[in-house]
Amino acid sequence: MQDRIQAAVDEIGQVLLGKEQQIRLALCCLLAGGHLLIEDLPGMGKTTLAHALARVFGLDFNRIQFTSDLLPADILGVSIFDQPNACFTFHPGPIFSQLILADEINRATPKTQSALLEAMEEGQVSVEGETRPLPAPFFVIATQNPVSLAGTFPLPESQLDRFLMRIGIGYPDPKAERELLERGVEPEQARLVRQSLGLEDLVAMRKAAGSVRLSPLLLDYVQRLIAYTRDNEHFRFGLSPRGSIAVVRAARTWAYMEGRDHALPEDVQAVLPAVVEHRLRVGVEAEGRSAPALVQRLLSEVDVFR
């Protein structure tokens, strides 16, 4: 199974050069059944990654470009009067799809954002008094641009919390960049990604990842990490129980992707930044430091063994 994961990673790696760690994190997030938030500057490959992820799983895929005038009905769907049959028929919106790419999610109004985020949490949508279930694996990959904030509505903490992971992509290293430059821009390149995992793989993997062993020693470590975020004055507030569950879930999946039946402290450390950075706020004491720096501090301050 690990071979197939590696194959999927390699497949995506063809379109997103030199970003294996980010690809693995993104895969880990989807395998753990969580929603993914990709946050980076324009042109860094956010959309490319999202496209490639959808294709590699062979999932039914819809893309929603969020704008400030997007309405909830544009996402969820709308009932329109059907003249011949003299009744209202529901026209499902783009959300009725296994994988949603919500591009530039922070451009939409809070009303629209929350329509999407409700669907993410519940796995169903309520339109005109009728509850309609969403497709079985339901993933949201949202992207946002953290810099040009004019005319945006930043997601509040409560909604950020719904994303299992938030990853950045970052500039490519010189070697990858060189290759990119030599190959030139191919707008449709994500289409080249072949499906290497199926829906049934997803279910099986998720099941297997759920049985990865968490030893008491490891859970002690996780608890120490959480306690640190709650007690240390550098954090404005600590990690919620939902956050700590997310850490463990991601660490298990990561261990599974590494081909182990037990999780190690290194697994926790690998996923921790992506899982907790967007859930933490910098406290008054640490004004001016970034959340990633704080998480690095957290990792280096908390002892693995005691």
Partner 1 sequence: MKEAVPRLSLGWLLSTFVLVISPHLLRLPIGVSALIAVCIVWRVLIFRGRLAFPGTAVRLLVVVFSLPLTVLSYRGEGAGLDVAVCLLILGTSFKLLEMRRRRDMIIVLCLCYVLTMVGFIYSQTIPAALLALVNIVVITSALITLYRDNIHSSVESNTRLAVRMVAQSIPLAIALFVLIPRVAPLWSMPIPVSSSTTGVTDEMSPGDVSRLSRSAALAFRVSFDTQTPANEDLYWRGLVLDSFDGRVWRRGGSSLLSFEILERLRTPSRGEVLGEDIGYDLILEPTQQSWLYALQLAQTNTADIVQDRYYTLQTRKPVTQRYRYQVRSALEYRADVRLSGALRARALQLPQEDSNLRAREFARDLRRASSDDEGYMLQVLRYFQEQPFYYTLTPPALGEASIDEFLFDSLQGFCEHYASSFVYLMRAANIPARVVVGYQGGEVNPFEGYTMVYQYNAHAWAEVWLPGQGWVRVDPTAAVAPERISLGAQAVLANEPGFLEDSRFSMMRFRDTQWLNALRLRLDAVDYAWNRWVISYDETRQVDLLDSLLGQQLRERIFLVLGAVLALFFLIAAFFLLRGAPAQMRDPATRLYLRLAADLAGSGMIMRHRGEGPRDFCERLARQQPELADDMGRVTGLYVQCCYGREGNEAGREQLLQELMARIRALRLRVASPTRRLWLRLLPRHY
CB of 215 or CB of 290, closer to partner 1: 215
CB of 87 or CB of 284, closer to partner 1: 284
Query: Min. distance of Cβ 289 from partner 1 in angstroms?
Result: 9
Separation between Cα atoms, residue 95 and residue 75, nearest integer Å: 6
CB of 60 or CB of 285, closer to partner 1: 285
Query: Min. distance of Cβ 293 from partner 1 in angstroms?
Result: 13
- The dihedral over CA atoms of 264, 17, 280, 159, expressed in degrees to the nearest 10, equals -110
Query: Min. distance of Cβ 152 from partner 1 in angstroms?
Result: 28
CB of 62 or CB of 296, closer to partner 1: 296
CB 29 within 8 A of CB 99: no
Separation between Cα atoms, residue 197 and residue 181, nearest integer Å: 30
Separation between Cα atoms, residue 181 and residue 126, nearest integer Å: 47
CB within 8 Å of 159: residues ≥ 6 apart: 113, 114, 117
Dihedrals phi, psi of 41, to nearest 5 degrees? -70, 160
**Which spans of this chain sit near partner 1 (rule: CB under 8 A)?**
213, 215, 217-218, 233, 261-266, 269, 283-288, 299-306
| Half-sphere exposure at residue 36, Cβ-oriented, CA atoms within 13 angstroms | 32
Query: Min. distance of Cβ 283 from partner 1 in angstroms?
Result: 8
Query: Min. distance of Cβ 218 from partner 1 in angstroms?
Result: 6
Instruction: Give the largest Cα separation in the chain, rounded.
Output: 72
CB of 217 or CB of 245, closer to partner 1: 217
